């Protein structure tokens, strides 16, 4: 497939995964339309009315694109949002070559949208520069249920002065680059033995999967660097602690919890006892030791569907009850692994900025 075809598939997957996005437009930094995808046809039957809506929305975003180009300098758009009487419109840089504009319903939760949108523009940038690695990356959109403690904290980027670009359109948020430097985030990975924690981490680190399982001996520590799209001068560095699940290591874990910024609590969907242990021991233990830090409940080994004992709905309901994020993965088949780590990195990046109150 060509990169244009892959971008089209990515936009389709993105829009269809987010019920409140109406149309996604991708433009080059010269103002040329690269790709677009909308789901208006699913809501309206009249073809003439559909054409009129697309025409009006295209005119609106192209007018906005002109204003953004003037206001934020050609070649660096940053990201932010606008409001009209009917829509919220989000824009994000997609590398040095393009900008993504999303026309959304007014009721959309932008704090939930932005982490996913940053992930999508990273994929677009890689497709455009032909560095997208299909061995470790995918055009699918992860169904990560994001808790509010993993967000971009948009209140921090609200424009305080009235900023009407033209009649009926108001600029609401503008996310600018912050000070440069490396930001280190310690991530701990918890769960019973043989739930796939080490394979999960190896997939993120782009290491070969170890089919012959051998229990992690104590604590394994890895590092990985990551860049949030549009903030290339800021290095996000993960320090990943992989805890052995054996009973002995449960007694010595607390010294290694200190300084963690997020915890992954992993269970195996084919073994009920690992789910119970994840909820009744590992989650409670992390919450007790680390307070209200972000926790992601990870349901692993979804490739073994015929052996599944815990449904997606049960895991999702439990995560909602525990007020944490939730995702299903297959570490062995690299389903949702890279994207989950990256979305958490995006959330921690903006959380760091908010807590340290960096000023523009």
Length of the chain: 360
pLDDT recorded at residue 236: 84
pLDDT recorded at residue 358: 47
pLDDT band for 211, please (50, 70, 90 cuts). Answer: very low
Considering the domain architecture, whether residues 325 and 192 belong to the same structural domain is answered as: yes
| CATH code for position 331 | 3.40.50.300
Q: How many domains does the chain have?
A: 2
Smallest CA-to-CA distance from 100 within 72, 130, 70, 124 is with 124
pLDDT digits (tens, 9 = 90+) for 306-322: 999 999 999 999 999 99
Does 9 have pLDDT greater than 60? yes
Cα 271 from Cα 135, distance rounded (Å): 28
Among candidate residues 151, 175, 199, the one where a domain is terminated = 175
Among candidate residues 175, 208, 232, the one where a domain is terminated = 175
pLDDT recorded at residue 177: 66
Q: Please give the full DSSP string across 185-229, using - where no structure is assigned.
A: EEEEEEESTTSSHHHHHHHHTTPPP-SS-----SEEEEEEEE--T
- pTM of the entire structure? 0.86
C-alpha separations of 292 from 263, 288, 289 in Å? 11, 9, 9
Helices marked H in the chain: 3-17, 47-72, 110-128, 197-204, 247-250, 254-257, 272-277, 284-290, 312-322, 337-356
pLDDT recorded at residue 276: 97
Does 271 have pLDDT greater than 90? yes
pLDDT recorded at residue 213: 42
Does 246 have pLDDT greater than 90? no
Among candidate residues 122, 145, 175, the one where a domain is terminated = 175
pLDDT digits (tens, 9 = 90+) for 59-117: 888 888 887 776 555 456 788 999 998 899 999 999 888 999 999 999 999 988 999 99
Q: Please give the full DSSP string across 338-357, using - where no structure is assigned.
A: HHHHHHHHHHHHHHHHHHHT
Angle of helix 110-128 relative to helix 337-356, nearest 10 degrees?
120
pLDDT recorded at residue 208: 55
CB atoms within 10 A of CB 277: 21
Q: Which domain range does residue 215 map to?
A: 181-356
Strand 87-93 versus strand 325-328 pairing type: unpaired
pLDDT digits (tens, 9 = 90+) for 135-186: 888 999 998 888 887 878 888 888 876 567 677 888 888 887 666 678 888 9
- Please report which helix (H) or strand (E) contains residue 21, including its range: strand 21-28
pLDDT recorded at residue 124: 96
Contacts of 34 (CB under 8 A, 6+ apart): 4, 7, 26, 27, 28, 98
Considering the domain architecture, whether residues 141 and 208 belong to the same structural domain is answered as: no
């Amino acid at each position: 497939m060509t990169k244009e075809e892959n971008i089209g598939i990515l936009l389709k997957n993105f829009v269809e995964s987010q019920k409140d996005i109406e149309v996604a437009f991708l433009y080059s930094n010269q103002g040329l339309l690269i790709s677009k995808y909308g789901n208006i046809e699913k809501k309206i039957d009249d073809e003439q009315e559909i054409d009129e809506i697309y025409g009006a929305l295209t005119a609106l975003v192209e007018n906005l694109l002109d204003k953004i180009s003037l206001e934020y300098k050609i070649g660096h758009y940053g990201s932010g949002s606008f409001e009209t009487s009917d829509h919220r419109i989000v824009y994000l840089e997609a590398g040095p070559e393009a900008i993504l504009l999303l026309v959304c319903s007014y009721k959309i939760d932008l704090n939930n949208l932005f982490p996913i949108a940053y992930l999508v523009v990273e994929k677009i940038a890689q497709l455009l520069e032909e560095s997208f690695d299909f061995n470790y990356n995918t055009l699918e959109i992860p169904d990560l249920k994001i808790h509010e403690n993993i967000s971009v904290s948009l209140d921090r980027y609200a424009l305080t002065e009235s900023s009407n670009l033209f009649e009926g359109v108001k600029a609401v948020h503008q996310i600018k680059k912050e000070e440069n430097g490396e930001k280190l985030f310690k991530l701990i990975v918890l769960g019973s033995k043989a739930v796939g924690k080490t394979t999960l981490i190896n997939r993120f680190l782009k290491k070969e999967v170890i089919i012959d399982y051998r229990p992690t001996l104590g604590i394994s520590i890895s590092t990985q660097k990551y860049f949030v799209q549009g903030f290339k001068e800021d290095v996000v560095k993960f320090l990943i602690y992989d805890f052995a699940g054996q009973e002995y290591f449960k007694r010595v874990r607390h010294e290694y919890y200190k300084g963690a910024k997020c915890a992954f609590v992993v269970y195996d969907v084919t073994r009920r006892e690992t789910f119970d242990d994840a909820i009744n021991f590992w989650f409670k233990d992390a919450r007790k030791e680390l307070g209200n830090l972000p926790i992601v409940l990870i349901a692993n080994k979804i490739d073994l569907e015929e052996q599944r004992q815990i449904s997606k709905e049960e895991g999702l309901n439990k995560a909602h009850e525990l007020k944490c994020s939730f995702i299903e993965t297959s570490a062995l088949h690299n389903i949702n692994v890279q994207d989950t780590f990256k979305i958490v990195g995006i959330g921690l990046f903006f959380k760091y900025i908010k807590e340290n109150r960096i000023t523009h």
